[in-house]
């Protein structure tokens, strides 16, 4: 299928007149022109843009003011969803708010738990021109887009050539004609990115840790760099955590906290003992104050999937549970907001960057060693521990043994993620992939057990309230049964998953990662 071609008008003068001349030369016919207010939406981590799509709410300036939600491919120009929104209704914020229409499901799958946030607002004049064949059939569409972000200068006028399926030759010919115009220059970005640039919008957040550490740097520098990066992630996600914009802000905030704790733990020979102990204590506290809200978020996020395990006619019986979870989430988030406003947190966020940026007068004995050697040592220790403890687990082992192994595996994962760029990236990717399979199994085993225990607690809470229907308790019992099944399946799969992780090929991968000759760059 042909791809959309996008140009910007670069010449001085009236872009309308310039384009009218081009249109006349190309034989284009104007068929529609509309002035509209457009609000572009995306998730805070830019998921829609990352998949080559834009989502906008378009409201005509004149005439009928009904807004339309448009989801469009920026690659092909194809409409992926177009649905009229109810007049006066709030714009969709979460996947569950999307109107029931074709394409909504795919959009919802992409958004997942993230909120849709306005990225840019522009006023646009959109003119559509078409190229017709002898049958009067449209073979190519051309969209002229004159947009102005609110409170800013107009953006460059944009010309989009939208191919019609099956008429690639016509699109190619018109594209060549347009590309030959000195007034037009190919534009690699969609309009939303131009508008975001003009508005000075911040970069999209990323939950992926992107680190490129210097392999020749000493351990102190490596540890510092990782901790600074993790602190930036916490800062980026703090406001969204406070306002509860969506559950992923707190999730990413917590992951950064956990990684920070792990890096401090692994820095036993890099940081001074006093400083390390102090900050480990502070970040443990920070992790602890976020746990109740995250637990409540997880229960709410998992609820639709758990409801789906029940027969449809019984799913509604879980409504009182849902209400209880919403109430708990609200209360735990209020407490979290209060904790984040505390003196202890204020001094943490003030003093931690000072510590990271200031000189480390006292350090651990290996602070001046090469960072990759120290990281490899820590990795060796963590990997050997996972292998040793995993091999001890058999059918008769207690659940605690699996839970402890899950923690060990997580520690190994954090080491790979935080210090992987000091090591061989190909081997790191293979190690992470192998470890992920094991972690998924251990995570499923842990999560199902924790959820089942939590549900028992929720049942007690509902009973204590005295207004719970028997149907609700029965439905919760059904869910617990389902969780038990899933937990059993995960337990049975453990041996196979661990054997895959402990395979000689994977062991070789880890050996290559940890055996760094001292006289090379690693």
Partner 1 sequence: MKILATYNIKGGVGKTAAAVNLAHRAASEGHRVLVWDLDPQGAATFYFRVKPKVKGGGEALVQGRRELDRAIKGTDFDNLDLVPADFSYRNLDLLLDEAKKPLGRLGKLLAPLRGDYDYVFLDCPPSISLASEAVFRASDALIVPVVPTTLSARTFDQLEAFVADNPDVVKKLRILGFFSMVDARKRLHREQVEDLRSKWPELLSTQVPSATDVERMGVHRGPVAAFAPSSRSAKAFAALWTEITARL
Of 96, 104, 116, 92, the residue nearest 44 (C-alpha): 116
What CA–CA distance (Å, rounded) separates 371 from 368?
8
Q: Is 173 in the site for partner 1 (CB under 8 A)?
A: no
Residue among 166, 273, 281, 425 that touches partner 1 (CB under 8 A): 166
Q: Is 138 in the site for partner 1 (CB under 8 A)?
A: yes
Beta carbon of residue 59, minimum distance to partner 1 (angstroms, whole number): 18
Q: Is 110 in the site for partner 1 (CB under 8 A)?
A: no
Choice between 171 and 367, CB closer to partner 1: 171
Q: Is 79 in the site for partner 1 (CB under 8 A)?
A: yes
Residue among 94, 167, 345, 355 that touches partner 1 (CB under 8 A): 167
Q: Is 57 in the site for partner 1 (CB under 8 A)?
A: no
Choice between 33 and 79, CB closer to partner 1: 79
Q: How far is CA 470 from each of CA 274, 320, 323, 324, 457, rounded to the nearest angstrom? A: 55, 11, 16, 16, 16
Cβ neighbors of 447 (< 8 A, separation 6 or more) are none
Stretch that binds partner 1, among 133-141, 209-217, 238-246, 321-329 (CB under 8 A): 133-141
Choice between 99 and 287, CB closer to partner 1: 99
Q: Is 51 in the site for partner 1 (CB under 8 A)?
A: no
Q: Is 428 in the site for partner 1 (CB under 8 A)?
A: no
37: β partners: 59, 123
Starting at the edge strand found earlier in the chain, the sheet holding 117-132 runs 79-84, 68-73, 53-60, 29-42, 117-132, 138-149, 158-163, 5-9, 184-186
What CA–CA distance (Å, rounded) separates 237 from 507?
36
Choice between 102 and 368, CB closer to partner 1: 102
Residue among 26, 34, 101, 113 that touches partner 1 (CB under 8 A): 101
Q: Is 102 in the site for partner 1 (CB under 8 A)?
A: yes
Stretch that binds partner 1, among 163-171, 240-248, 363-371, 499-507 (CB under 8 A): 163-171
What CA–CA distance (Å, rounded) separates 155 from 197?
10
Choice between 82 and 189, CB closer to partner 1: 82
Q: Is 169 in the site for partner 1 (CB under 8 A)?
A: no
Cβ neighbors of 82 (< 8 A, separation 6 or more) are 68, 69, 70, 71, 103
What CA–CA distance (Å, rounded) separates 229 from 421?
13
Q: Is 135 in the site for partner 1 (CB under 8 A)?
A: yes
How many helices (H) and strands (E) in the chain?
Answer: 16, 9
CA 405 from chain centre, in angstroms, equals 27
Residue among 25, 152, 165, 407 that touches partner 1 (CB under 8 A): 165
Site for partner 1 in 253-272 (CB under 8 A): none
Cβ neighbors of 272 (< 8 A, separation 6 or more) are 360, 361, 362, 363, 364
Q: Is 83 in the site for partner 1 (CB under 8 A)?
A: yes
**How many C-beta atoms lie closer than 10 Å to residue 261's C-beta?**
21
Residue among 18, 19, 36, 81 that touches partner 1 (CB under 8 A): 81
Beta carbon of residue 136, minimum distance to partner 1 (angstroms, whole number): 5
Choice between 81 and 264, CB closer to partner 1: 81
Beta carbon of residue 87, minimum distance to partner 1 (angstroms, whole number): 18
Stretch that binds partner 1, among 95-103, 114-122, 306-314, 360-368 (CB under 8 A): 95-103
Contact present, 501 and 412 (Cβ < 8 Å): no
Beta carbon of residue 128, minimum distance to partner 1 (angstroms, whole number): 11
Choice between 79 and 291, CB closer to partner 1: 79
What CA–CA distance (Å, rounded) separates 225 from 260?
11
Q: Is 237 in the site for partner 1 (CB under 8 A)?
A: no
Beta carbon of residue 83, minimum distance to partner 1 (angstroms, whole number): 5
What CA–CA distance (Å, rounded) separates 245 from 249?
7
Stretch that binds partner 1, among 77-85, 345-353, 368-376, 463-471 (CB under 8 A): 77-85
**DSSP per-residue codes, 428-446:** HHHHHHHHHHHHHHHHHHH
Beta carbon of residue 184, minimum distance to partner 1 (angstroms, whole number): 24
* Residue at token pair 């002035």: 35
Q: Is 164 in the site for partner 1 (CB under 8 A)?
A: yes
Choice between 81 and 289, CB closer to partner 1: 81
Sign of torsion over alpha carbons 388, 390, 393, 397:
positive
Count residues near partner 1 (CB under 8 A): 15
Beta carbon of residue 207, minimum distance to partner 1 (angstroms, whole number): 28
Q: Where are the beta strands (DSSP E) in 445-494?
A: none
Residue among 25, 65, 137, 433 that touches partner 1 (CB under 8 A): 137
Cβ neighbors of 181 (< 8 A, separation 6 or more) are 22
**What's the distance, Cα to Cα, between the start and end of the chain in Å?**
46
Query: What residues line the site for partner 1 (CB under 8 A)?
Result: 79, 81-83, 101-103, 135-138, 164-167
């Amino acid at each position: 299928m042909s791809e959309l071609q996008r140009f910007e008008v670069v010449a001085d003068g009236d872009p309308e007149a310039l384009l009218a001349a081009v249109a006349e030369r190309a034989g284009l016919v104007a068929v529609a022109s509309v002035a509209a207010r457009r609000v572009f939406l995306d998730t805070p981590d830019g998921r829609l843009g990352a998949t080559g799509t834009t989502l906008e709410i378009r409201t005509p300036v004149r005439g009928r003011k009904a807004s339309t939600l448009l989801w469009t491919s920026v690659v092909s120009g194809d409409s992926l969803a177009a649905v009229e929104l109810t007049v006066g209704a709030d714009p969709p914020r979460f996947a569950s708010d999307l109107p029931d229409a074709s394409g909504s499901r795919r959009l919802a799958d992409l958004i997942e738990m993230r909120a849709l946030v306005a990225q840019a607002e522009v006023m646009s004049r959109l003119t559509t021109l078409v190229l017709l064949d002898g049958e009067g059939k449209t073979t190519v569409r051309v969209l002229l887009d004159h947009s102005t972000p609110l409170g800013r200068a107009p953006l460059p006028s944009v010309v989009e050539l939208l191919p019609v399926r099956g008429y690639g030759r016509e699109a190619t010919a018109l594209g060549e004609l347009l590309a030959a115009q000195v007034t037009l220059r190919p534009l690699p970005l969609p309009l939303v990115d131009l508008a975001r640039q003009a508005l000075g919008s911040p970069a999209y957040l990323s939950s992926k840790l992107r680190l490129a550490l210097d392999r020749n740097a000493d351990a102190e520098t490596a540890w510092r760099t990782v901790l600074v990066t993790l602190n930036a992630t916490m800062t980026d996600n703090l406001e969204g955590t406070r306002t509860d914009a969506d559950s992923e802000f707190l999730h990413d905030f917590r992951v950064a906290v956990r990684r920070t704790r792990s890096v401090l733990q692994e820095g036993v020979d890099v940081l001074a003992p006093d400083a390390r102990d102090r900050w480990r204590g502070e970040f443990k506290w920070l992790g602890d104050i976020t746990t109740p809200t995250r637990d409540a978020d997880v229960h709410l996020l998992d609820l639709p999937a758990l409801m789906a395990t029940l027969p449809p006619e019984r799913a509604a019986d879980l409504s009182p549970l849902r209400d209880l979870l919403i109430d708990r989430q609200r209360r735990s988030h209020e407490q979290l907001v209060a904790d984040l406003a505390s003196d202890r947190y204020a001094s943490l966020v003030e003093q931690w960057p000072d510590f990271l940026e200031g000189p480390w007068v006292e350090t651990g004995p290996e602070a001046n060693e090469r960072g990759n050697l120290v990281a490899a040592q820590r990795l060796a220790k963590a990997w050997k521990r996972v292998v040793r403890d995993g091999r001890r687990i058999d059918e008769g082992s207690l659940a605690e043994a699996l839970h402890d192994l899950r923690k060990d595996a997580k520690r190994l994962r954090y080491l790979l993620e935080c210090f992987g760029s000091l090591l061989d990236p190909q081997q790191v990717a293979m190690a992470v992939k192998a470890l992920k399979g094991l972690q998924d199994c251990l995570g499923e085993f842990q999560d199902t057990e924790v959820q089942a225990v939590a549900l028992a607690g929720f049942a007690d809470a509902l009973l204590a309230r005295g207004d719970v229907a028997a149907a609700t308790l029965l439905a919760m019992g059904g869910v617990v049964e389902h969780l038990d099944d899933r937990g059993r399946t995960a337990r049975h799969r453990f041996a196979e998953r661990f054997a895959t992780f402990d395979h000689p090929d994977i062991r070789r991968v880890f050996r290559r990662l940890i055996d760094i000759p001292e006289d090379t760059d690693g």
